[in-house]
Amino acid sequence: MCIAIPGKVVKIEGRKAEIKYPHTTQTAFVGDENIKVGDFVRVQMGVILQKIEEQAAKESLEAWEQAES
């Protein structure tokens, strides 16, 4: 099982998006034209799977931070 950590889209060029995570930035394929800069998304295997609400993303990121400490 793979767990996707939420990331924030910071840049889109064509079908590639730059996704910012707490400790890194990665590139992912944009499959949905509704994704835009500023959206929070879940990525798996280099593909954006879904857009998620900002509040849900922040809660998930807080839980990840607590698990790391």
Residue 39 pLDDT: 97
Q: Give domain status of residue 30, yes or no.
A: yes
What CATH number corresponds to the domain at position 58?
Answer: 2.30.30.140
Q: Does residue 1 carry a pLDDT above 60? A: no
Q: Give domain status of residue 1, yes or no.
A: no
Residue 34 contacts residue 57 (beta carbons within 8 Å): no
Residue 62 pLDDT: 87
Local confidence band at 61 (pLDDT 50, 70, 90 cut-offs): confident
Of all helices (H) and strands (E), which one includes residue 54? Answer: helix 54-68
Distance of alpha carbon 34 from alpha carbon 59, whole angstroms? 23
What pTM, to 2 d.p., does this model score?
0.86
Q: Give domain status of residue 27, yes or no.
A: yes
Q: Give domain status of residue 16, yes or no.
A: yes
Boundaries of domain holding 23: 7-68
CB atoms within 10 A of CB 66: 8
Would you say how long the chain is, in residues?
A: 69
Give the chain's domain count: 1
Q: Does residue 69 carry a pLDDT above 90? A: no
